[in-house]
Amino acid sequence: MPVYHAELLVYLRPDLLDPQGRAVKHALNTLGFHEVEDVRMGKAIRIRLQAENDSQARDRLKEMAEKLLTNPVIEDYRILSLEQEP
- 58-77 binders of its own copies (CB under 8 A): 60, 63-64, 67-69
Residue from 33, 53, 59, 84 touching its own copies (CB under 8 A): that is 33
Contact 9, 77 (CB under 8 A): yes
Task: Tell me the closest approach of the beta carbon of residue 73 to its own copies, in angstroms.
Answer: 19
Using the minimum distance from each CB to its own copies, give the nearer residue, 68 or 73. 68
Alpha-carbon distance values, 25 to 4, 9, 45, 77 (Å): 35, 20, 23, 22
Torsional sign, CA 77, 78, 80, 82? positive
> Applying CB under 8 A, which residues contact its own copies?
1, 3, 9-11, 21, 24, 27-28, 31, 33, 35-51, 60, 63-64, 67-69, 80
